[in-house]
Amino acid sequence: MLFRSLTRRAVPLLTMYRMTRQFNSTPPRAQIGRSPFVRLRELLGDTPPGKPAISLAVGEPQHPIPDFVGPVIAAHVAEFGRYPMNKGLDAFAAAVGQWLTRRFALERPVDPATEVLVLNGTREGLFLAALAAKNWVSPRSGRPAVLIPNPFYAAYAAGAIAADCEPVYLPATAKTGFLPDLDALPGDLLARTAAVFLASPSNPQGAVADLAYLTKLTALARRFGFVVLSDECYCEIYTKHQPHGMLQAAGPDFEKVVVFHSLSKRSNLPGLRVGFAAGDRKFLASFLELRNVAAPQVPTPLQHVAIAAYGDEQHVEENRRLYREKFDLADQIIGDRYGYRRPAGGFFLWLDVSAQGGGEKAAQLLWQKAGLRVVPGRYLAREQADGSNPGADYIRVAMVQNNAITGEAMHRLVEVLG
């Protein structure tokens, strides 16, 4: 009896040990990759900027925060003295459900009780969603895979590797409209896929998937039994047309689809760390079980700010106007250089600097001669099986500064790169 009891306890520990050995068999740096910003610091080293420094590297919005933020927090400041529920406030879920239904003209209202979860921003949500997906989907045909657009947001790959899935990087290049080619995915890969990450608008290229693309991806998810994890954090920053969302393509039950949104870009609140996941209620129920033991709760005063933010569109339209003005400057100053095309969504320039020696060389030149800090595209992507890197010839430029600084930066960039 005692032997059986000890054996039962030892088996999970032995399994965990084996998983740890397997996970650590390749150095973590090689598995997960390194922060592009750490790599950029190393690339530039101690070299002084050639002119007063302007950072266009980090996608951190610099526009003013909405006026209501401070008063809302002050009105609920006493709630910092209580542990919040991991699922979030009912009022938060209701505000999100109403906003999603209104913004995407959904066939039916989102059910706030079962189809919305609050997140600490979207980074931790996207990371943990990969773990939840692996455990939620039916057994895969071979080692579970997580499909990731390349270039990509680093949390996607980190989540896939932490879940002990194989990250499979799908090139998203000019040839494919800067989105993965869904028709090129082989059936044997899809049969072992646990999750597919998609970003629309994409970071860094600013590509927007049309409804037909999203519908095709949804159909694949249902046919092969994986879940789509759709990163839509940039969906409210666009020039002409509102980007479609995955929930529009998922039908009334949102089966096999979960979307991720944040106030960081939409409302200029990157430090608030409030976002949400919404969609397939069965997945979200399983996701909540994981989050209840592994994820931090979101303070309720901050959720009250989010309730106010999702109920107000005026500050969002003003935000879009400010970005439009900056892209007007890029249109005028950059013109048709470096393969520039005004992106359909998001706030990045994705510039082809192959003629200048590639992204790393261009980033060094821009810092040394112009004091501009930009990210080499190679640092936002991963080498493909053939050794190529979809970001190697590019730099990413974050259009987050004010008009005066942005205009100055665009002139410096053209002066240096030609």
Same structural domain, 329 and 365: yes
Strand partners, 348: 398
Distance CA 235, CA 99 (A): 13
pLDDT greater than 90 at residue 6 = no
Six-digit token string for 261? 């949104």
Q: Are residues 41 and 86 in the same domain?
A: no
Instruction: Give the range among 22-26, 44-48, 111-115, 134-138 with minimum mean pLDDT.
Output: 22-26
Res. 416 pLDDT band, cuts 50 70 90: very high
Residue 270 falls within a domain, yes or no?
Answer: yes
Cα separation of 23 and 25, whole Å? 6
Q: What is the predicted pLDDT for the residue at 33?
A: 76
pLDDT above 60 (res 113): yes
What mean pLDDT is predicted for residues 124-135?
Answer: 96
pLDDT above 90: residue 173: yes
Q: Tell me the per-residue pLDDT of 270-293, one tens digit each, with 9 for 90 and over.
A: 999 999 999 999 999 999 999 999
CA-angle at 229, arms to 111 and 268, nearest 5°: 80
Cα 184 from Cα 189, distance rounded (Å): 11
**Last residue in a domain, options 245, 279, 312:** 312
106 and 212 both lie in a single domain: yes
Q: Are residues 145 and 276 in the same domain?
A: yes
Least confidently predicted of 17-26, 93-102, 181-190: 17-26
**Nearest-angstrom CA–CA distance, 192 and 243:** 30
| Structural domain contains residue 1 | no
The answer to whether 378 and 359 have CB atoms below 8 angstroms apart is: yes
Distance (Å, whole) CA 37 – CA 234? 20
Three-class DSSP category at 124: helix
pLDDT digits (tens, 9 = 90+) for 99-109: 999 999 999 99
Total structural domains within the chain: 2
pLDDT at residue 5, as a whole number: 37
CATH number (domain holding residue 46)? 3.90.1150.10
What is the average pLDDT across 241-256? 96
Rounded Cα distance, 251 and 228, in Å = 14
Statement to judge: residues 263 and 320 lie in one domain: no
Beta strand extents in 97-203 (DSSP E only) = 116-119, 145-150, 166-171, 193-199
Q: Compute and round to an integer the Cα radius of gyration of the chain.
A: 22
The predicted pLDDT at position 405 comes to 98
Decide if 118 contacts 93 (C-beta within 8 A): yes
3 state SS of 398: strand
Quickly state the pLDDT bin for 240 (edges 50, 70, 90).
Answer: confident
Give the DSSP letter of residue 238. B
Position 24 scores a pLDDT of: 35
pLDDT in tens, 54-67: 999 999 999 999 99
Contact call for residues 374 and 397 (beta carbons, < 8 A): yes
In the three-class reduction of DSSP (H, G, I as helix; E, B as strand; rest coil), residue 277 is classed as: strand
Q: Is the same domain home to 36 and 125?
A: no
Domain presence at residue 8? no
**CB atoms closer than 10 angstroms to residue 411:** 14
CB atoms within 10 A of CB 127: 19
75 domain residue, yes or no: no
Q: Work out the average pLDDT over 198-227.
A: 98
Q: Does 20 have pLDDT greater than 70?
A: no
Does this model's pTM top 0.85? My answer is yes
Q: Which of 1-15, 83-97, 346-360 is the least confident region?
A: 1-15
Same domain as 98, residue 52: no
Residue 388 lies in a domain: yes
Residue finishing a domain among 268, 293, 312? 312
Question: How does strand 257-262 pair with strand 227-231?
Answer: parallel
Residue 203, in any domain of the structure = yes
- Whether the CB-CB separation of 329 and 410 falls below 8 Å is answered with yes
**Alpha carbons 62 and 204: distance in angstroms, whole number:** 18
Structural domain range at position 203 = 81-312
- C-alpha 390/C-alpha 57 separation (Å) is 19
Helix (H) or strand (E) holding 260: strand 257-262
Q: What is the mean pLDDT of the segment spanning 368-381?
A: 98
Burial 212-238 (b: 16+ CB within 10 A, else e): ebbbebbebbeebbbbbbbbbbbbbbb
Structure confidence at residue 7 as a pLDDT band (50, 70, 90): very low
What mean pLDDT do residues 238-266 have? 96
Same structural domain, 85 and 230: yes
- Neighbouring CB atoms inside 10 A of 195's CB total 30
Paired with 122 in beta bridges are none
47 and 171 in a single domain? The answer is: no
Q: 278 is written with which tokens?
A: 């919404």
Q: What is the pLDDT of residue 181?
A: 98
Examine the domain organization and report whether 153 and 244 are in the same domain.
Answer: yes
Beta bridge partners of 397: 349
Identify whether residues 100 and 193 lie together within a single domain. Answer: yes
Report the chain's mean pLDDT, rounded to a whole number. 92
**Sheet of strand 375-376: strand arrangement:** 348-352, 394-398, 375-376
- Asked if residue 196 lies in contact with residue 217, where contact means CB atoms within 8 angstroms, the answer is yes
Token couple for 111: 């059910």
Q: What percent of the chain has pLDDT over 70?
A: 92
- CA distances to 142, 257, 375, 377 from 363, rounded to whole Å, are 41, 38, 7, 10
Assess whether 268 and 168 both reside in one domain. yes
**Residue 239, pLDDT score:** 87
Residue after which a domain boundary falls, among 279, 312, 345: 312
Give the model's confidence band at 204: pLDDT under 50 very low, under 70 low, under 90 confident, else very high: very high
In a domain, 242, yes or no: yes
Q: What is the CATH number of the domain that holds 202?
A: 3.40.640.10
Residue 13 has pLDDT above 50, yes or no: no
Q: What is the pLDDT of residue 31?
A: 63
Q: Which of 17-26, 42-51, 211-220 has the lowest mean pLDDT?
A: 17-26
Quote the DSSP letter at residue 209: -
Structure tokens at 364: 């060094």
| 295-324 mean pLDDT | 97
The answer to the question of residue 2 being in a domain is no
Distance CA 337, CA 354 (A): 12
